[in-house]
Copies of this chain bind each other. A is one copy, B any other.
Amino acid sequence: MTRTTPQTHGEILAAAARRFAVTGYKGTSLQDIAREVGCSKAAVLYHFASKEALLAELMAKPIEVLRQLDERIDALDGADAQRVAAEGFVDLAVRFRREIALLRGEFPELLAQPAFAHVQRISERLLDALAGCGEGPGGRIAAFVVLAGVPEACAEFVDVPDDELRPALLAIAARALAPLDPSTPE
């Protein structure tokens, strides 16, 4: 409990990432983080306005990249949008899988918080793009399986190297999103 280093900000961030990865966001208390850093809970709240602000700083980069992906997709449509969405999403999930792992299964609640409302909206547009020009609900269902399954897989296989995980997930996404039945154009 005797810490005087001024780089505590970064240490808290790192400790929070470590704890969130093990016990989740809701499952980790500010006390836990403080204990891991070796400072008081009040010190954590001195450096970060709130627990949510801590999470927001941890997720700032992946969210920014997601926003950029959304912009790129917005300029395309149909099959192009679908391809870019799938590749971009897998890239993003693989690249930031450590951050994704922090939120194992807490996406729904977290995205419901007003601070992440725009992420929610982007996710919906991403779903549309992945579903493609598809007819019927089949496309949307497939898109949802990919949208939910890929991040979970990334969180699960954190230790698999990028250049092994990415192509595997790209192949899965491509197969899963293939048109349901090309012979029925409708």
By a beta-carbon cutoff of 8 Å, the part of chain A in contact with chain B is: 24, 26-27, 104-109, 137-138, 140-142, 144-150, 152-153, 156-157, 160, 164-165, 168-169, 171-172, 175-176, 178, 180
Contact = CB atoms under 8 A, between A and B. Distances in A.
Nearest to A142: B172
Contacts of A27: 109
A165 B175 CA distance: 18
Copies in the complex: 2
A123 to B, nearest CB: 12
B168 A138 contact: yes
Contacts of A180: 168, 171
Contacts of A157: 137, 140-141, 144
Contacts of A138: 168, 171
Contacts of A105: 105-109
